[in-house]
Structure 1
Amino acid sequence: MTAGAVYVGRFQPPHAAHLASIRHALAHADHLLVLLGSANLARSVKNPFSAAERARMLRGALREVGADLRRVTFRPLPDRFDADLWAADVRREAAAVFGEGTPVSLVGFEKDASTAYLRWFPGWGRLPVPEVPGLNATDLRAAYFTGRPLPDGVPEAVRVFLAQFAEKPAYNRLCMEWEAVEAARAALPPGAHLHEKRWLHVEEGKVWLHTRRDPIGLGLWELPGRVLPLGEIAAGGHEFAHPARALVAPTTAHVYREAVPAAFPARPVPLALALRAPRRFHEDHHAIFMRLLAGAAASSSPG
């Protein structure tokens, strides 16, 4: 029996395989820390539910199977689109819950590139969990946003939450986004990689942003600019190319720290407001914004 275990996931939404992993972890650890990933990202077809909503679904589903919730702690975990920064966040959360120096085991099994992080924690134990074949959250979201019956393996508490959420305006927006994302992907050849140009301009306590009118990310802020046509490649600027940063296809962003060209509409937003509102930004634009601001602050500080 290990003292503490850490289970990282997006749980978008939770399903029976997630519950099986949690119950397996609780059978082998005194306490489990569940880190709810992508907590800083806006609602999208990939991440439709907030960290609080996912914690609510998981608590309800765990109560249904009689799990001891006193032994489970839920914490939000932001996406950093940087492995080192993200792993440091995981370690920091584990230390805050279990204390420095407490033996910790990481829960999970390696299924694909999305779980490569299991190898990023030397010195931590591993708590492998049994795989539940044929069940994944991607297929569940596909059914949910296209009005098809949910597959087996969805806990009743999650079904109830999803039914209630479907009555909200956010659900209709996400259904439209799902259709738009699928159409955009279908228009691209297999293996397509896109480029985009973006601008970050900060001046006198304001940052220049654009509000999206496209069904994908409707109403969210973005750094002004555009995705380039397939085959057109940008150059220069700060490059951001995390494979999971864009919703439609792998996309390399080239971000320029200069005034926004007149061709791209943008308006000034108070910098303090933008800093504290990551979930109002499209895709990873807030993470880019924060990374470049931090870099500028570091380069301007006395050596």
Structure 2
Amino acid sequence: MSTRQYPYAVVIGRFQPVHFGHQRLIDEALRAAERVIVVVGSDRKPRSFKNPFTFDERERMVRASLRSHEQMRVSVVGVGDSPYNDQLWIASIQSAVDKLIQQDGAVPAQTQVALVGHLKDASSYYLRLFPSWTFVANPVVESIHATDVRSLYFDPENRGQLARADLPDGTAVFLDQFAATEDYAALCDERAFLIDYKTKYRYAGSNFPPIYTTVDAVVVEAGHILLVQRKFHPGKGTWALPGGFVGQHERLQEAAIRELKEETRLKVPVPVLHGSMKESHVFDAPDRSQRGRTITHGFFFELSHNQWTGLSDVRADDDAAAVRWVPIAEFLDMQEHMYEDHFFIANHFLGGLGKN
């Protein structure tokens, strides 16, 4: 008869990459419960310096940290972010866990679940968002943090400082293999760009980092949304909303329209764009941008459609690799190809249609 206290235990993390702290949490969950569900966050995001590895790659690292007899006791599921709606994120995790419990023939509402984690700092607030689960606190583990791993690993000159002994064997092997890929080289370039960017734009004579103000335009016409493909770092190759930084002497809406016209050469007169603006909203998730603290103001434009002339003409500017009208039905499946939080910004104005 099993001496484990719970039928299920949940471990939540981004695992970018898996380190000894993660391994300790999973080990504790395996001691506490018959079945362990590892929830891998930030699913369906394009590669970036902050989120360099895909769900499949992170699942491989998680499973490489397990002993062979533990594999069947562990399920790994991916859950996407919801930076402007904690309730949607909570519901997504609960739904993923409930689905696995139901597959085992149990009733979720009648099943005891443990949530295993440790309260590191303010970023661990999410561990208190699941009151129906029993929180099992785990002490901090002396381990190199994922942020430090990424900082060393994606710096080719200092990668040698990251010893194999600093990480679980499976993670070390994966990172060795990944370093030979084109994706690794691109992420090294993005890291170098970000460091240079943050150094260049610090306040003169001060260590206090600046807060940037940007604008983004969500433009729809006849069931299509206007997107640009980024030509440069950060987010090179991802799709984004037209937008950019606010000028010193601009009103916000004026900046949004200027950026829209500059990036897409949209053939709609400025007065018509002003009249087509339906709604605006502020998006201020503290970690929404890798460049630093950036607060963006989103503007929603709904253009009238002329069935005889087709969608309004657009053309990529020099700063964009491409520009296109994307059917909204197609856009809803593009989360893993969208820059930063632009999928969620657009989804706010589209009425929450996006998949999570």
State the alpha-carbon separation in 2 of the partners of residues 230 and 69 from structure 1.
Answer: 57
1:105 correspondence with 2:114: yes
* Aligned position for 1:198: 216
| Cα shift at 1:272 | 2.8
1:126 correspondence with 2:135: yes
Give, as a single letter, the amino acid of the residue that structure 2 aligns with 1:210: V
Q: How many residues align?
A: 295
Give, as a single letter, the amino acid of the residue that structure 2 aligns with 1:100: P
Instruction: Output the TM-score relative to the length of structure 1.
Output: 0.90
State the alpha-carbon separation in 2 of the partners of residues 38 and 231 from structure 1.
Answer: 37
Instruction: List alignment gaps of at least 5 residues for structure 2.
Output: 102-106, 254-278, 304-313, 318-322
**How many percent of aligned residue pairs carry the same amino acid?**
34
1:57-206 aligned within 5 A: 57-63=61-67, 68-81=70-83, 82-98=85-101, 99-101=107-109, 102-147=111-156, 148-149=159-160, 150-151=162-163, 152-186=165-199, 187-189=201-203, 190-206=208-224
1:20 correspondence with 2:34: no
Give, as a single letter, the amino acid of the residue that structure 1 aligns with 2:82: R
Give, as a single letter, the amino acid of the residue that structure 2 aligns with 1:7: V
From the CA coordinates, give the structure whose radius of gyration is larger: 2
State the alpha-carbon separation in 2 of the partners of residues 13 and 230 from structure 1.
Answer: 40
Question: Which aligned segments of 4 or more residues in structure 1 are displaced greater than 6 angstroms?
Answer: 229-233
What root-mean-square deviation, in Å, do the aligned CA atoms of Structure 1 and Structure 2 show? 2.5
* Aligned position for 1:274: 331
| Cα shift at 1:13 | 0.5
Give, as a single letter, the amino acid of the residue that structure 2 aligns with 1:167: A
* Aligned position for 1:288: 345
3-state DSSP class of the match of 2:43? coil
* Aligned position for 1:301: none
1:210 correspondence with 2:228: yes
Further displaced range: 285-294 or 102-111? 285-294
State the alpha-carbon separation in 2 of the partners of residues 296 and 30 from structure 1.
Answer: 37
Instruction: List alignment gaps of at least 5 residues for structure 1.
Output: 298-303
Distance change (3 Å), C-alpha of 1:62 and 1:227: farther
| Cα shift at 1:264 | 8.5
State the alpha-carbon separation in 1 of the partners of residues 49 and 250 from structure 2.
Answer: 27
* Aligned position for 2:270: none
1:41 correspondence with 2:49: no
Q: 2:20·2:143 contact (CA, 8 Å) conserved in 1?
A: no
State the alpha-carbon separation in 2 of the partners of residues 267 and 282 from structure 1.
Answer: 15
Q: 1:4·1:30 contact (CA, 8 Å) conserved in 2?
A: yes
Q: 1:199·1:259 contact (CA, 8 Å) conserved in 2?
A: no
Q: 1:194·1:230 contact (CA, 8 Å) conserved in 2?
A: no
Distance change (3 Å), C-alpha of 1:110 and 1:208: same
- 1:137-169, CA deviations, whole angstroms, 9 ceiling, x for partnerless residues? 000001110022224431121122112111211
State the alpha-carbon separation in 1 of the partners of residues 175 and 291 from structure 2.
Answer: 24
| Cα shift at 1:263 | 11
